[in-house]
Amino acid sequence: MENVMVFNHPLIQHKISILRNKSTGTNEFRALIEEIAMLMGYEALRDLPLEDVKVETPLETCMTPMIAGRKLAVVPILRAGLGMVNGILALVPSAKVGHIGLYRDEVTHEPHEYYCKLPSPIEERTIIVTDPMLATGGSAVSAVDFIKQHGGKKIKFMAIIAAPEGLERLHKAHPDIQIYVGHLDRCLNEDAYICPGLGDAGDRIFGTK
């Protein structure tokens, strides 16, 4: 699919395998989520615009490239998406952070918005939406919908694990955005959980049940 990148980097695959292990504790799980987000972000931010600025080195003054224009915006889908934010901020500490709150109906599995706060002016920023799990795709589609409604234009979506059903739904609804996936899993089960997956990412990041 155009605008979709599924990573095959050995470090990302190795760390995802540790995430899957049910015996991986909260502290290690949280750290791995951040590390994977940083590794994925390195590639996802490859096309950030640059401009030459004047810098005085110890030897002379020169023109050298720096990130141009309005800085990056990271927008996690609450709450699991929060786990990926620090990985992106490690790469671009000046990035602004917004939040989109969605919850999933336990019967229909469809998302409902309860919070949306985005950096301004959002239309001038490169926006990375983060959510560790791209399952049905409902939350991802809704989050991108909300961002576009607020004027967001250049949008990237990052998920550590995706189901084919969710990836197809997001790409079909928003073929213009760039989608980055750490690993494409087999399928969704009858409860709309990714298989083999890693369980509930939010619960494992925050140590809740």
- Give, for 182, the enclosing helix (H) or strand (E): strand 178-184
> Annotated binding residue at 138?
yes
Provide the pairing of β-strand 73-78 with 99-104. parallel
Q: Which of 108, 176, 186, 208 is catalytic?
A: 108
> Annotated binding residue at 122?
no
> Annotated binding residue at 145?
no
Q: Which of 20, 24, 70, 203 is catalytic?
A: 203
- Give, for 21, the enclosing helix (H) or strand (E): none
Strand partners, 63: 54
> Annotated binding residue at 137?
yes
Q: Decide if 186 is catalytic.
A: no
> Annotated binding residue at 25?
no
Q: Is 41 left (phi over 0), alpha (psi -120 to 50) or beta?
A: alpha
> Annotated binding residue at 133?
yes
Q: Which of 20, 24, 30, 200 is catalytic?
A: 200
For residue 91, which phi and psi values (nearest 5 degrees)?
A: -85, -40
d(CA 64, CA 130): 31
Q: Decide if 204 is catalytic.
A: no
> Annotated binding residue at 194?
yes
Q: Decide if 61 is catalytic.
A: no
> Annotated binding residue at 200?
yes
Q: Decide if 203 is catalytic.
A: yes
Q: Which of 20, 30, 70, 104 is catalytic?
A: 104
> Annotated binding residue at 90?
no
> Annotated binding residue at 199?
yes
Residues 6+ apart with CB under 8 A from 79: 101, 202, 205, 206
> Annotated binding residue at 201?
yes
CA angle 92, 77, 135 (to 5 degrees): 115
Task: Report CA 3 to chain centroid distance, whole Å.
Answer: 15
d(CA 41, CA 39): 5
Which residues make up each annotated binding site for uracil?
Answer: 194, 199-201
Which residues make up each annotated binding site for 5-phospho-alpha-D-ribose 1-diphosphate?
Answer: 79, 104, 131-139, 200
Which residues make up each annotated binding site?
Answer: 79, 104, 131-139, 194, 199-201
Q: Which residues are catalytic?
A: 104, 108, 200, 203
